[in-house]
Structure 1
Amino acid sequence: MNSSLPGARPAAHIAMVSVAAHGHVNPSLELIRELVRRGHRVTYAIAESFADTVAATGAEPRIITSTLPTSEDPDAWGSELIDHLRLFLADAGRVLPQLLTAYRDDRPDLILYDPMAYAARALADRWKIPAIQLSPHAVAWEGYEDDMAAELSGPPDHGAAASGRGGRHAHAWHANNGTAIGPGRIARRPERCIALISKVLQPHADRVDNSVYTFTGPCRADRSHRGDWSRPAGAEKVVLISLGTVFTRAPDFYRACAAAFGDLPGWHVVLQIGSGTDPTELGEVPANIEVRTWVPQLAILEQADAFITHAGASSAQEGLACGVPMVAVPQAVDQFANAEMLAALGVARYLPKDRATPRNLRDAVLSLLDDPDVPLHVSRLRQHLAHEGGTRQAADIIQAALPSPL
């Protein structure tokens, strides 16, 4: 460890390893910035496409080559959990040798890692370095492995064989790289995990081991530098519609949204279509609909009356933190569970994407805004999120886990 200011804990070398996807990198950034602010040297192993984003926190990017799909090819991710696990597993096989080379002569004092950064856990086990998982989504609960094994088995007519192969390959890779896992487990549970989500979004929260998992809530950052947004004069209701950053190739959905809200007097709609859809595919768009490839989401949510979202963890929490009722139209993986949780909390309507017709979209939003119980639930959850520990709590946990200086 390096020396630090008198009276302060000696600075450490902390290595963060994530995967090249916005939903995995972005939740960690403010925490990394705080660790740097506290005087630690932080290196961040990530694909080059995220290097500038990481460098802006003060951390040093360690560039690794990733095999994960890019935002230009979202369909390559697939839509099932097993599809994603295979991609992350294949990526880990490519990344581990790069980590061994990058850190051989600069071993960190502690490793932080995304749950899908399997190679980081293998590296920590091999070199006997303490490690803390940073989870940007829900974590395992007691009985999770049995639930996961049942899900991965797939329908017996076409999915069982493929899913079984995926599980066995994961077991073999971890065994060969020093990470022992039990029967039916895709990966060994972490010894310590900071869940960067609100506990209200955690399925079976009462069955989570609190000695391993700590829910700090999201590590929020000042986003004023990312732009502002002003509610148009005369807008009685504002609706934000966004499917996040990956699954944005959805022209049919966007056209349905335009048809749902285009003729509502006094309504203004902000429709984020991302880079995956050409605006010309939407046809003629009503004047009250603002079509953007990117928006300052938080700035809009602070002024919005409703949010139609894919229910990714970050978007769901921003909706809760801003007190905005949501219509959840999940697209893949954990978004389905998030949508179910939001609906159960009384702040959202769950609308499957194959049922996202103009009529259903409009009915879902109108029913939310007409429900007298929704504001009560929204207010309660907003207050809960406001009192979570966030960045400071997460950084304190990490500092407490650092090895004592010799």
Structure 2
Amino acid sequence: MGIGIFFNVPAHGHINPTLPIVNELVKRGETIIYYSTEEFREKIEKTGAKYKPYSFSLSQGPTPSGNFVKLAGMLLKATEEVMSKEMGYIKKLKPDYIIHDSMTPWGKHMAKYLGIKAVNTTSTFVFSGETTDKVDKFRNKILKMALEAGIDQIFDIVTIKRRLKVEYGVNSKIMDLFRNQEDLNIVFSSLQFQPDGAKLGDKFLFVGPSIYDRKDASDFSFGNIEDRKLVYISLGTIANERLDFYRECIKAFSKSEFNVLISIGSKVNKKQLGVVPSNIHIETYVPQIEVLKRANLFISHGGMNSVNEALYFGVPLLILPQQSEQVMVAKRVEELGAGICITKKDIDSEYLLEKSVYIMESRSFYESAGKIGEDFRETGGYKAGTDAILNYVTDDLH
């Protein structure tokens, strides 16, 4: 049985999709050492993997500002630190393979340096030239981001790239920092949902969203919200401090015929939202999978993980993107007829209610979401992903 290292970005949207595969690998006798931060230790250890902390802070993950140039600098610094601080331990461990997230270049380059196989896992759209063209003026935005990042940031990027090349032979383009593709790439989506998926080739295996019992602790009860149509509202776990948005949602649905469940996260104080009508329920945390099994509409930030989970259960979406990559997801949902993308200027109670009612009264949105969900369920799931990983990494072991 093999030993695998798993490098990931410490963010719910990146970690959650990988947990079923990690759990399945452990069940099949593999030893997995999973690098992350303390926040995710419990859920990682529940899979049977061995948690190992990064030796520095990566807790912020991709920045809410969406500046890819600043993020590139952060990823390069992280790559240098992980390779310098963890190389000794990993050499001594002698792993058989490395699995890494698409946004952890240190995983790709660690495997290359050690001469072992590596597998990429992708929890977003596959980031290709064709995909980036789907975002209006994408290249101009990158240039603007570089100017915003400043000359010091650009100098740091160039300097670290030079050091990595000299020390470890790392020589990758800036855009590769967000892709880190391997000969096997596990994508937690479907070929149908991926923009230009047919152009990607056979190195990409689409296994669909990883839906399984995450065993998250929760005392949440559905007892008082199951008698009417349910609207579920969440802006995810990163950029969710939006009192203005929550207040407009409360105003929009206060006199409606719907039950509304709003998950605000731990950064917002419920008391700031005041007294709410009996049909509106405010929670800091909800078991999202269980909610989506019952929901009629999901008003979301457009995080890939949340969108995948909604569509898996055939739930249409009203999406308010908070970051650049979420715009891509929202536009794809809209393109396939499974929801509507709105902008910050659309945060108005009347508009929110109007669009919500429109979606819930239109059969086409449910049909489109249902088709995508059916496609997700037919992709093979985490067991197909596990099979592919083991077949790939054990070719040279047995």
- TM-score when scaled to structure 2? 0.89
Deviation at 1:173, TM superposition (A): 5.7
Report the secondary structure of 1:311's partner residue: coil
Matched, 1:47 2:26: no
Cα deviation, 1:69-94, whole Å, max 9, x if unaligned, reads 449xx9x6433333333333332232
**From 291, 295, 298, the counterpart of 1:300:** 291
Aligned equivalent of 2:165: 175
Matched, 1:34 2:24: yes
Moved more, 86-95 or 344-353: 86-95
**From 112, 115, 127, the counterpart of 2:102:** 115
Asked whether the 8 Å contact 1:135–1:193 carries over to 2, the reply is yes
Question: Which letter maps to 2:96?
Answer: D
CA distance in 2: counterparts of 1:192 and 1:369, whole angstroms: 40
Asked whether the 8 Å contact 1:203–1:337 carries over to 2, the reply is no
Aligned equivalent of 1:405: 397
Report the secondary structure of 1:361's partner residue: helix
Deviation at 1:46, TM superposition (A): 1.8
Aligned equivalent of 2:88: 101
Deviation at 1:288, TM superposition (A): 1.2
Deviation at 1:392, TM superposition (A): 1.0
Structure 2 residue runs without a partner (length 5+): none
Aligned equivalent of 1:135: 122
Aligned equivalent of 1:269: 260
C-alpha spacing 1:345/1:174, structure 2 compared with 1 (3 Å): farther
CA distance in 1: counterparts of 2:79 and 2:225, whole angstroms: 51
Deviation at 1:235, TM superposition (A): 3.4
Question: Which letter maps to 2:317?
Answer: M
Moved more, 333-342 or 353-362: 353-362
**From 221, 239, 244, the counterpart of 1:252:** 244
Pairs within 5 Å for 1:144-155: 150-154=140-144
Aligned equivalent of 1:7: none
Moved more, 243-252 or 86-95: 86-95
Question: Which letter maps to 1:361?
Answer: L
**From 237, 246, 251, the counterpart of 2:229:** 237
Structure 1 residue runs without a partner (length 5+): 1-10
- TM-score when scaled to structure 1? 0.87
C-alpha spacing 1:174/1:390, structure 2 compared with 1 (3 Å): farther
Runs of 4+ in 1 over 6 A off after TM superposition: 145-148
Matched, 1:371 2:362: yes
CA distance in 1: counterparts of 2:173 and 2:145, whole angstroms: 24
Cα deviation, 1:331-388, whole Å, max 9, x if unaligned, reads 1132111111111111111011332211221111111112232222122222111211
Deviation at 1:248, TM superposition (A): 1.5
Aligned equivalent of 1:61: 51
CA distance in 2: counterparts of 1:373 and 1:405, whole angstroms: 50
Report the secondary structure of 1:45's partner residue: strand
